[in-house]
Amino acid sequence: MKRIISVLMVMVAVAIVVPLQAQIKFGVKGGLNLANTLSDTWKDKANADNYTGFFIGPMVDLTVPIVGLGVDGALMYSQKGNKLGGGTLKQQGIEIPVNLKYSLGLGSLASVYLAAGPSFFFNFKSDDNLTLESVTDKVKYENAEIALNLGVGVKLLKHLQVGVNYNMPFTESAKAGIADKDYTSEAWKAIRGKSFKTKVWQVSVAYMF
């Protein structure tokens, strides 16, 4: 019993000390979304190509210096999408990533970090028009998407963070061809009713105050 009480006391002490030791910084984060999203069917039938968008918004970073662990989060306006049939399906919305970070110091001026965690994306738009082989129909976006973030980066001069992140979706991004009609387009026949997931590489820069 004494040992159990001792362990509990140590856990309580750690729970109290760690937040006191944590460093909390606020900043601004921005960068590029490099989308590479679609299946072979979409690439073959819809002439799919990559789309480059951007993201920007406030960020908070909490780090425990002694153990190198931390958490960061952001609330960002974000663009991502696909180039299809000579046009662009551009998703615009709010992105909220929350990452667990592990930092390895390289001295007082720099450190390397690994990051992982969920990302939530909320679409502003419900659909877009897509024209393939002179036939136009709707592509309907999901209201919300959930993805896994995996990233690596560096912290420089106590204020600057530069990172590369892969956003791997768990949920579908959109579904094509929601109209109830006969298609004269072979491309639409191939993708009608099919969903796709938007996979994104992100390159980011953050400045912490």
pLDDT tens digit sequence for 13-40: 444 444 555 688 999 999 999 987 666 6
Nearest-angstrom CA–CA distance, 13 and 200:
41
151 in a domain, yes or no?
yes
61 in a domain, yes or no?
yes
> What length is written for the chain?
209
**What is the extent of the structural domain holding 155?**
24-208
Tell me the two tokens of residue 148.
């896994």
9 in a domain, yes or no?
no
3-class DSSP state of 169 = strand
Number of structural domains the chain divides into: 1
18 in a domain, yes or no?
no
167 in a domain, yes or no?
yes
Count other Cβ atoms within 10 Å, centred on residue 152: 13
141 in a domain, yes or no?
yes
Structural contact between residues 94 and 77, judged by C-beta atoms closer than 8 angstroms: yes
Residue 71 phi/psi, 5-degree rounding, is -135, 140
Choose from 5-9, 91-95, 130-134 the range with maximum mean pLDDT.
91-95
Residue 65 phi/psi, 5-degree rounding, is -60, -40
pLDDT tens by residue, 101-126:
999 877 668 899 999 999 999 999 99
134 in a domain, yes or no?
yes
Tell me the two tokens of residue 25.
């910084």
CATH code, domain with 112:
2.40.160.20
117 in a domain, yes or no?
yes
pTM for the complete prediction? 0.84
